[in-house]
Amino acid sequence: MIKRITLFLLTNLAVVVLLTIVASVLGIDRFLMANGLSLGGLLMFAALFGFGGSLISLAISKWMAKTMVGAQVITNPSNGTERWLVDTVRRHAQLAGVGMPEVAIYDAPEVNAFATGANRNNALVAVSTGLLQQMTPDEADAVLGHEMSHVANGDMVTLALLQGIVNTFVIFFARIIGSVVDRAVFKNDENRPGIGYWVVSIAAEVLLGFIATMIVMWYSRRREFRADAGGAELAGRGKMIAALQRLRALQEPSSLPDQVEAFGISGRRRGGLAGLFLSHPPLEDRIAALQAGTIRSGLSLAR
């Protein structure tokens, strides 16, 4: 995680420097400063709010997920199913080289599971009652391997950082657009933003937010292929393919809240432009990728 965050910080520093150079060359910086809006201050403001919300959500992700779906953490297994569930997650965690996550069950008829948490050694893996009732042990084993692959790859942290980056750019560019339009179109010569600035900034934030969401969801879909490959390594390729085929046969719409749906094994189905906002790729594509064996999981298993 330290390497990932260090790389992330260096990348953001490079982006900030590049934006500053481009803004200076184009004269945007001088324009904004002359009109009371500092580019450096705006970047700090955008980063503070862009990353603040994302990182706070990550920090409380386990509590939020348990609260929203009503997941009950298994502290002392009370039956054979709960013991099997805890033992299977422990086995995958040991193979993946991560700390034992909390294991929970939530009451829902759909076949689904999800993983979340602030880091790979402090995670939560939760499964629905529908999954335990409608999947064979081998299929459920593969689903748990898929979720543990998300944990081991640090997908929750990476997704939160990516969200922070796009949030920052949305806030930053929305306010630049609002300032330019306020001055050039609404002819606001005062040293404070006018109504045009606020209206245009909000509209630009909404529009740019849609584009940013498409970027984050594209990454989420790519991440699912890696998690499938990880599930195949932890539980066996045949089991993982069988689990995805079972999901395809059921094709139940996900009832997980939006905040944790991206971390589930299965997502919603949409076509056309709406497909760009899906957190999961089509099950047919995931099965084909597993059968072809072209996707690497990124895991380093301890055998």
The catalytic residues are: 147
Give the residues across from 125 on adjacent strands: 103, 115
**Phi, psi (rounded to 5 degrees) for 14:** -60, -40
Which token pair is 197?
């600035």
The torsion region of residue 117 among left (phi > 0), alpha (psi -120 to 50) and beta comes to: left
Instruction: Tell me if residue 115 falls in helix, strand or coil.
Output: strand
The dihedral built from the CA positions of residue 93, 95, 96 and 98, taken in this order, carries a sign that is: positive
Q: Which of 284, 189, 271, 295 is nearest to 244 (CA)?
A: 284
Q: Would you tell me how many other CB atoms lie within 10 Å of the CB of residue 282? A: 15
